[in-house]
Amino acid sequence: MASIVENKKYGENHRVILKDKPVNSALFKKEGYVPGKSVFLIIRRKVKANKFIELAKGNKSIVLKDSKNKIVLIEGSESSINGSFNHYTANAKSKTNVLTEIKELVSMHLFESYIETGRTLKEEQVKSMVGKIKGVYETLFDSFYYESALKQLNELKKYKLKKGYHYERQKGPMTNELYKLARGLTGKLDDNWNPGDVWMIRKNYNMKPLLNSKSANELNGELTKAFKKRDVIPISLKQVEKPRATSSIIDPSKLMTQKLDLDLKFDRVDLSESFNNFIVITKSGFAVRVGFKASATTLNVSLEGRFIGAGFQTGAVDAKAYTKYVDEEYNYKLRGGGVNQSSYSVAQRELKEMFSKYKRLSNTIENYDEAIRLFKRGDKLVQDRFANLMSYMYSFLMKPKSFENHMKFNYFTSKKLTTDSSIYLIIQ
C-alpha cells in the first residue's frame, strides 16, 4: 500500500504500480490496466484528465499518467486510493524478504524506544536507523511501514510492559538455538512452531529452562510460563491497514479446545480457469486459497488461510501437516510434484464427481465439459498443475465426512495452532 494521497514526499513523476488486488479491480481492468503490472507516474501539476476512475465514495483524488501517456484522475476515499497502489521498485518481488525485514525492524525500533525510554521515534529517526543497516533499506522505506508500526505500538501499549528487554527478530542471537531445538522436537518449520516476528526477552531471563527441554510439550509449557510472567514475548506482526490495530494472545493449548465462533459451513468454491488455484469459502468468510506460487514452474501446492475482505491473511496452512491429516483421516494420497498420464485421468474423474455434487465450482468455468476443453488446450505445465490441484480440491469437497471439521483444521493450522505449536502475541 502506497501512502500517496496528498503526500508531498512523493512528487512529480514518482512511480507507483497497480497492486495485484486493487480496490474495485474491475474498474481498472475495464480501462485496460493490469493488476500487478501497470505502472503509473504521479502528476502534481494541474493537467486535464483523459480518463476518470471512481473507486469508492470519498473526497480525495490523485492524478496519474499511464504508460501510454494518458492522464488518469482517480477519486475515492484516501484508503481506497492508497490501497490500490504500491511504490514501484525494479524486481519488487525479489525484494519480498528485504521488505519484510524492513517492516519488522521499523516495528522493533518503535517498540524498543517507547518501552525502554518512553520516546516515540519520529519517522525520519526510524528510517535512519533502518537505513544504517543496509544502504538499500533507506531507498525501499515506505511511510506506510512507519504508520502501520505506529498503530502496532499503540496497541502494544495496553499491555503496560516495563523496560528491561532485549529485542530481536526471529532467529536472532537469543532465539536461533530455540528455533533449532523446536524444529528437532516438533518437526515443524519455524513459523509453524512460533510465528513471532519480533521477540522481547527480559535481560535477566535465563533461557536454560527452554533450551534444556526434552519434548515439545515441555518446551511449549516453559514458553507459556515465561510468556505469562512477561519474561519472553514473541510477537507476530501483520501490516495494519485499518485505522487501529487489534491484538490477541494465541495460546494453542487453550484455543484448540474452545468452540469457534465461526460459521464454517460451505459457502462456495472458485476454481481459476488457468488451474493455478482455487479458493474454498465458508459462510463466515474464512477461506483457504489452494494453488501454486514461488517458482513459475512449480508443481507443489501451497495453502493459505484468509478472511475474505478482511485485508489480511491468517497465514499459511502447514502443507506437510495437511498432507498427513488427509492421509490419516481419509486414507487419501494428495498428488504433488511430478505426474503422469494416469494422474490426468484420475483428476478428470475427480472433477466430474465434484461438478456432479456441487454444480458450480467456478466464477468463470460453467461446467465440466468447459473445464476439460481448457485442460486439453493447456500446455504440459497447465495439465500437470491441473492433475495435482484436483487432488487437493477433491480432498476439500469430497473426502471430509464433516466439511466444518475439515475447515476447522485449516483455520487452526493457518493460525499456527496445533498441539505442537507455542504461545505468542499477534498484533494486526
Residue 98 backbone phi and psi in degrees, to 5 = -65, -45
pLDDT for 185 beyond 50: yes
pLDDT for 204 beyond 80: yes
Looking at residues 153-178, what average pLDDT do you find?
A: 97
Torsion of CA 140, 144, 147, 149, to 10 degrees: -60
pLDDT of residue 413: 87
What is the overall mean pLDDT for the chain?
Answer: 90
Whether residue 72 contacts residue 65, with contact meaning beta carbons closer than 8 Å, is answered with: yes
pLDDT for 92 beyond 60: no
Ordered by start, the domain boundaries in the chain are: 15-87, 92-252+423-427, 266-414
Q: Residue 119: what residue type? A: R
* pLDDT band per the 50, 70, 90 thresholds, residue 133: low
What are the Cα distances from residue 317, in Å, to 36, 323, 396? 24, 10, 14
Cell numbers given for 271: 476454481
Percent of the chain residues past pLDDT 90, beyond the cut: 66
In 3D space, the residue among 316, 354, 1, 294 whose CA is nearest the CA of residue 143 turns out to be 1
pLDDT for 136 beyond 60: no
Residue-wise pLDDT for 297-346, tens only, equals 889 999 999 998 776 678 889 888 899 999 999 999 999 888 888 999 99
pLDDT for 93 beyond 50: no
* Minimum mean pLDDT range among 114-118, 200-204, 317-321, 376-380: 317-321
pLDDT of residue 13: 83
Top-confidence residue, 330 or 142:
330
pLDDT for 108 beyond 60: yes
pLDDT for 211 beyond 50: yes
Residue-wise pLDDT for 368-415, tens only, equals 999 999 999 999 999 999 999 999 999 999 999 999 999 999 998 888
Looking at residues 181-199, what average pLDDT do you find?
A: 93
CA 171 to CA 401: how far, in whole Å?
A: 40
* pLDDT band per the 50, 70, 90 thresholds, residue 94: very low
pLDDT of residue 222: 95
pLDDT for 258 beyond 80: no
Describe the crossing of helices 403-414 and 380-397 by its angle, rounded to 10 degrees: 110
Residue 236's DSSP bridge partners are 426
